[in-house]
Chain A
């Protein structure tokens, strides 16, 4: 291995030394808000879909391409060795970010969706039997619903749904057989991308552990404003994507608990994940984890950006982020609640997620989003890839406002002005 001393990335600068988020100062760290006409005065409130990227993340990725780009785990020259080291350092960074026991449990995937599919296909499918149940919740994103539905239908098992109570929280008491011997798996989101409800995933993991039921947590919406510690949670699998936490698209994380690693089969086969490629798959041997789950040339630039985003999030502090977005969401919620034609579907108790969803009696969510968009307010309208939840709510679409570190009171005012304008247009 080369003894090149790796320079520290510029991501270690503290973006927020004081504790409390100063959104204007944080916003200045995001080049998009000063780069063009479309974004200069934009109130970007579609953060649950994807976040904007700070300069430090771009710079780290730029460095990866300009300064040390070469193959990962495949070269014997100093540059390639340095690149491999950088990639593995990114893994180490993710390991500390989620409090994992070992870096063999930290797997880079293409996305949170890809991570879940790998667990469904590579872990659950082979062990799932007819008559068993797989539990998900009513508030799941399609990414944490369809993969389980698929393996259940392939193996004769049943997909069961943990329903919600009237306050938009999981009604665990309604389903006494969740933590029973018939349960093969529980997969649930930590924070709903539509409601903003944050579930007590730790309590569910604790109960599941008593029955040795594996649990997968989708932390995609939670990771920016909640410190994740997989050991304290006691989960078997945890997934999230990079792009919702200020890093690029195309890369996600899959955490597999050490005692589950041997129970997961690779589903992506190809270069870099095989030790001995025999004449038949039966005789082929896979590399050790995590490499057996990372077929193909690793996403070096994405991993470097992902790691830089961990630094960025921690420099702001998840607790500070939660306080900031929760405060703005509460302000927005209170103002929206005065509108007689609006129906808020986000529980008031869970506004610290920064997510406020609602629908309008008269104006279709797509029309509302379009008019808001024309007024410089970027929001999401539709079913948010959560059709089972929308059916439960009895609506075909909602409008979702999702708040992040760079949003200010001006953005909330912009929402209210755009809403008033939309009501005039449709009066």
Chain B
């Protein structure tokens, strides 16, 4: 049995049935940013549109381990339809939470909690979030 409880049912569910995952290019998105980690081969793109300061739609594509894909999927679910400032705040909280700080996170993201105990997986879990932050910086959010 997996002692770390890293592979919770919700995490595996998002990996096996990723939400907002595109198959082809993210051509219809206003902003597309890539996050890649050559050390492990994770390589994804996050794309979104910003309308009236609201993130909608948001998609991602690419390949990665279960932690990377599930995190990207949960990220898109947790911020779609939300104001840009909210997304920016959650991304910053996510960074601190994964780094080990005691931060209250939205319920949607809690299945990622076990990743905090695995330093080697922190890059995987943050890849989509870094791409999101880069995209928002481009939009001057």
Contact = CB atoms under 8 A, between A and B. Distances in A.
Q: Please report whether the interface of chain B is mostly helix, strand, loop or mixed according to DSSP.
A: loop
Which 4 pairs, one residue from A and one from B, show the smallest C-beta to C-beta distance? A396-B41, A364-B65, A374-B2, A366-B65
A29 B66 CA distance: 39
Interface string A369-412: 01100110000001100010010000111000000000000000
Interface in B52-78: 63-67
Contacts of B12: 425-426
Interface string A334-378: 000000000000000000000000000000111100110011000
Q: Please report whether the interface of chain A is mostly helix, strand, loop or mixed according to DSSP.
A: helix
A397 B66 contact: no
Given A371-B2, A374-B2, A425-B12, A366 B7 contact: no
A303 B43 CA distance: 42
Interface in A148-174: none
A373 to B, nearest CB: 8
B40 A366 contact: yes
Contact of B40 (A375, A397, A425): A397
A129 interface: no
Interface in B10-34: 12, 16
B3 interface: yes
Q: How large is the interface on B (under 10, 10 to 19, 20 to 34, 35 or more residues)?
A: 20 to 34
Contact of A366 (B3, B43, B121): B121
Nearest to A366: B65
Interface in A132-186: none
B124 interface: yes
Contact of B1 (A382, A387, A421): A421
Contacts of A375: 1-2
B116 to A, nearest CB: 14
A371 B39 CA distance: 19
B35 to A, nearest CB: 14
Contacts of B120: 366
B4 interface: yes
Given A366-B65, A383-B41, 14 more contacts: A366-B124, A367-B65, A367-B66, A370-B4, A370-B7, A374-B4, A383-B40, A390-B41, A396-B40, A396-B43, A396-B63, A397-B40, A425-B7, A426-B66
Contact of B6 (A370, A387, A421): A370
